[in-house]
Chains A and B, each alone.
Chain A
């Protein structure tokens, strides 16, 4: 997956986890938590959804990379480069 596709995949996951949030104006460089109601349970779910959908294991010490869309996409780019985008 290319970075654009990864961003799309993350948006898809967020729309499952926080369906009542409007994600259309998400600012990629601002932490998720400053833009939406996202608690530690939801945060765990981002990691869990990535594991469920793409079999990616993210160790707990890497969680800080996931605070914003930008951070998440750059962290995931090398990990997901060989994974095909989902239809």
Chain B
């Protein structure tokens, strides 16, 4: 078989790229190793209940009918309607550090007032920082490589290290592939998507989005093959000619878009890159990843007095965003309640999800028995730490699940089970082969909205514009 384009991975970036190509009459095939779509943001059923794998919240909220911004751009490009995502906005979220709390919702003015109340000496500086952020064109794909880091720019503007860490905490948790600091470009993307635009969730969770996206793709004639892992990318000099699947099937394509990750994709090449073709730092896999606990409750979180959508907490003045020495870093974390969005009607079950930084090597090397025991042990420790920042829900837990870097690696193939991929991003999507392009996580736009925009822009730039 021969296609105009093959897309590796039926995650959100691959599906979005697929819609663009199929819509404009390209013959396109998405190859997915797993038995289901969604990649890092999928869903599953466990003991009769539906769970989302990733989704805490979608970022970049905009009210239906909004004419600008990433969400509106994404819907336009995919020819989807606002109802296809049917987003309910968050209630309110907070960042909690010792002695200080910053609340935010989807109105930026409210957040700005919080900064003014909590850090009165810094508010003018914060406003100047905001102006700089607003003026920055984070979607320019041709930026020079030696970009500024977020801590450099924050340090130039803000005189209070606590405020700097409180701003970085949610933005790093939700979108930094690098430890300790992040690219200023990535910081701007995350700042706008979380503080400027804000959180929302479909009542039905990520399955609604996946369902509508895959339906669109198929209705346009796009082909999707599940259980179709790519074992090898066949090359011929400067060119990729096709792929070989795990079952031996050979497929040809004029262009290949890959969402498998940069490092992971290089490992698929039949002719691996040498030091001259690919800089060594690009082959460094990511190191930052998480463990997440899910607790289903016998009542709604609001019945326990917890109405926050998301709480980002840190129990010491410095925020340590890095691969921890312990199996999990319980000093900081994220508490998310899928119930606490402004839905038209309540969800069936109350639930609390808690996420903490995790040491990927530890989780990978455990034996199966030790792994099960360790999941139980860290469930308890993570929850115990989190209830310092919310009402103690432990007496009301009726069901639990835990997933780890090992889960992420198993289902998505990302090295080290890294949620945000490798530290080095490839904004232009180009590789050393002239028809192989990176989309999704390692192109650099992260999250649900980001990965879809990534798939769209790579399909536009490298396939549609060229033909």
Contacts and interface: CB of A to CB of B under 8 A. Distances in A.
Contact of A36 (B24, B67, B79): B67
B80 to A, nearest CB: 10
Interface string A23-50: 0000000000000110101101100100
Contact of B67 (A16, A21, A41): A21
Nearest to A39: B73
A52 interface: yes
B67 A20 contact: yes
B73 A52 contact: no
Contacts of A45: 77
Contacts of B464: 44, 48
A37 B202 CA distance: 26
Q: Which of A16, A17, A21, A45 has the most CB of B within 10 A?
A: A45
A19 B81 contact: yes
Q: How large is the interface on B (under 10, 10 to 19, 20 to 34, 35 or more residues)?
A: 10 to 19
Contacts of A19: 76, 81
Contacts of B67: 18, 20-21, 36-37
A52 B24 contact: yes
Contact of A37 (B68, B460, B465): B68
Contacts of B457: 41
Interface residues of A, number: 16
Nearest to A37: B67
Interface in B67-92: 67-68, 72-73, 76-77, 79, 81
B374 interface: no
Given A44-B464, A48-B24, A52-B24, A16 B65 contact: no
B25 interface: yes
Nearest to A48: B24
Given A44-B464, A48-B464, A52-B24, A16 B73 contact: no
A33 to B, nearest CB: 13
Contacts of B65: 20
B305 to A, nearest CB: 39
A17 B24 contact: no
Interface of A: 16-21, 36-37, 39, 41-42, 44-45, 48, 51-52
Closest 7 CB pairs between A and B? A37-B67, A20-B65, A20-B67, A37-B68, A48-B24, A52-B24, A52-B25
Interface of B: 23-25, 65-68, 72-73, 76-77, 79, 81, 456-457, 460, 464-465
Given A20-B72, A41-B456, A44-B464, 11 more contacts: A18-B76, A19-B76, A19-B81, A20-B65, A20-B66, A21-B67, A36-B67, A39-B73, A42-B76, A44-B460, A48-B464
